[in-house]
């Protein structure tokens, strides 16, 4: 079989590691054969073969099969490394209707209904929940009463009439006005969405969580 000659050209020495990397990437890209390139090589081989000693046709068939296999492998690799948005959305839709928990101290309010906050008192004491809006203004103070230390409690805010839909921040303090840490946001997923980087976001009702922030998933109570 006739081998198609390749040409080479001299290039000036790279002056920086950045230009070296760019040059290496360009060479790697140029080395990849497309289907059109492969057909051009086959045509060149036909045109330049020795009439007295023609190439065995089975060699061409073998090359075509090998190239087709390569194309399939490239397609599979692209599907694995670059998953489609449709596939991600289908997988993310499994979150809808499930209760999720993530670290944080925000709640979402939709039409008078709020998501909840889970907290664990460090010691037995009287606790108070303070709810602020997105501007940092205090909109509600709720007495949680005396809570035993080392237990897990849930704060479900009952928004006053006229409370605007949106995201609010909850701060739980003890009798010394010291804030509790380790609060958890929780709620039922209403819908899911993808951003431009294919990151999955879960909407709990004016409270949006990243899929990667979710610590646990369960059936709603």
Q: Residue 113 maps to which CATH number?
A: 2.60.40.4070
The pLDDT score that the predictor gives to residue 125 is: 98
Domain annotation covers residue 37: yes
Domain annotation covers residue 186: yes
Considering the domain architecture, whether residues 214 and 162 belong to the same structural domain is answered as yes
User: pTM of this prediction?
Assistant: 0.61
The pLDDT score that the predictor gives to residue 100 is: 95
When divided into structural domains, the chain yields a total of 2
Cβ contacts of 64-71, under 8 Å, gap ≥ 24: 67/33, 67/35, 67/38, 71/35
The pLDDT score that the predictor gives to residue 84 is: 61
Q: Give the span between the Cα atoms of 212 and 93, in whole angstroms.
A: 15
Residue of 187, 186, 160, 170 lying closest to 127 (CA atoms): 170
| Residue 130: partners with Cβ closer than 8 Å, 6 or more residues away | 138, 140, 141, 142, 170, 171, 172, 173
Residues in the chain, pLDDT under 50: 1-30, 76, 79-80, 82
Considering the domain architecture, whether residues 112 and 54 belong to the same structural domain is answered as no
Domain annotation covers residue 13: no
């Amino acid at each position: 079989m006739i081998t198609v000659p390749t040409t080479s050209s001299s290039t000036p020495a790279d002056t920086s590691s950045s230009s070296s990397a760019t040059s290496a990437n360009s060479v790697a890209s140029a080395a990849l054969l497309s289907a059109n390139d492969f057909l051009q090589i086959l045509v060149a081989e036909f045109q330049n073969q020795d009439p007295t000693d023609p190439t065995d046709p089975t060699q061409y068939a073998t090359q075509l099969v090998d190239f087709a296999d390569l194309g399939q492998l490239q397609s599979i690799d692209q599907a694995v490394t670059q998953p489609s948005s449709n596939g991600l959305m289908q997988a993310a839709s499994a979150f809808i209707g499930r209760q999720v928990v993530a670290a944080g101290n925000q709640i979402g309010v939709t039409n008078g209904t709020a998501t909840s906050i889970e907290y664990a008192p460090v010691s037995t004491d009287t606790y108070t929940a303070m709810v602020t809006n997105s501007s940092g203004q205090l909109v509600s103070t709720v007495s949680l009463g005396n809570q035993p230390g080392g237990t897990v409690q849930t704060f479900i805010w009952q928004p006053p009439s006229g409370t605007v839909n949106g995201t609010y921040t909850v701060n739980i303090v003890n009798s010394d006005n010291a804030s509790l840490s380790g609060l958890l946001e929780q709620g039922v997923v209403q819908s899911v969405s993808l951003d431009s980087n294919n990151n999955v976001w879960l909407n709990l009702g004016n409270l949006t969580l990243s899929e990667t922030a979710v610590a646990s998933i369960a059936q709603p109570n």
